[in-house]
Structure 1
Amino acid sequence: MSKLVPEDFPRHIAPASLAGAHPKLAGRLIDGKFVVGLTEEERFERWDICEDLAQQLVGVARREASKYPENSRDVTLARVRRGLEDKRWTSAVETDWLMARLRSLLEWQ
């Protein structure tokens, strides 16, 4: 499964913040093992969601660019990003990855 997930896709989407003076790791007990960050399955699921969103946003960005031809590509992508961030479907690092992926799909380098 993990072979399908691009290497540049984030591994840790939400840093933990734990109070106290002693060093701590935020982990979960899964199948008798402590896991810090996403499991490979969770990472695949998050990537799959982000990839699907990027594919869907291609049409949105193209419509936005057609509707407002006076806007630069960067402005168009910023508008799409704001819409995505307002929905709160992805973490900040996932949104960064998703927008880079969208730019690539649109070939707006």
Structure 2
Amino acid sequence: MNEDSQILIPDSFVALYLNPGRSKPSVPRDELAARYELCEDLAQAMVEHARAMLFGQGISEDEVLSRCHRGLVGDGSVVSAPEATWVVRRLAELLDWECPELGRGTGE
């Protein structure tokens, strides 16, 4: 990916890669864009699974999102703890659900 990429990375995602007092992300643009695409794709892919959990297991929206978060911060996850929180917040946005306070994962 080059600097001319058309991908618009939301400020909420860029903030995951900002060191305190800095305005430039701590990773190169192509890496940031790749991480964003992974996280966005993950959130999009989880939409139907989350709905199925809600209706199939008879649990609340908050519990669905909390379980998704716990799964994303578990061992072997492809996302970091801050990215996992972003993914679940994005998932809540896609579902038009209120996002609960998420537990802190390893490294967050």
Q: How many residues align?
A: 89
The 5 Å alignment of 1:15-94 reads 37-69=26-58, 71-86=59-74, 87-94=76-83
* TM-score, normalisation: structure 2: 0.71
* TM-score, normalisation: structure 1: 0.70
Identify the structure with bigger relative contact order (alpha carbons < 8 Å, sequence gap 6+).
1
> Which is strand-richer, 1 or 2?
1
Q: Deviation at 1:83?
A: 1.9
Which residue identity is paired with 1:58?
Answer: V
SS of aligned partner of 1:4: coil
| Max Rg structure | 1
Give the 3 Å change call, closer, same or farther, for CA 10–107 of structure 1 in structure 2.
same
Give the 3 Å change call, closer, same or farther, for CA 75–12 of structure 1 in structure 2.
closer
SS of aligned partner of 2:11: coil
Give the 3 Å change call, closer, same or farther, for CA 5–45 of structure 1 in structure 2.
same
RMSD of aligned C-alpha atoms? 2.3
Match of 2:8 among 4, 7, 13: 4
Q: State, as a whole percentage, how many aligned pairs show the same letter.
A: 34
Q: Distance in 2 between matches of 1:82 and 1:9?
A: 19
Where in structure 2 are there 5+ consecutive unaligned residues?
20-24, 99-108
Where in structure 1 are there 5+ consecutive unaligned residues?
16-35
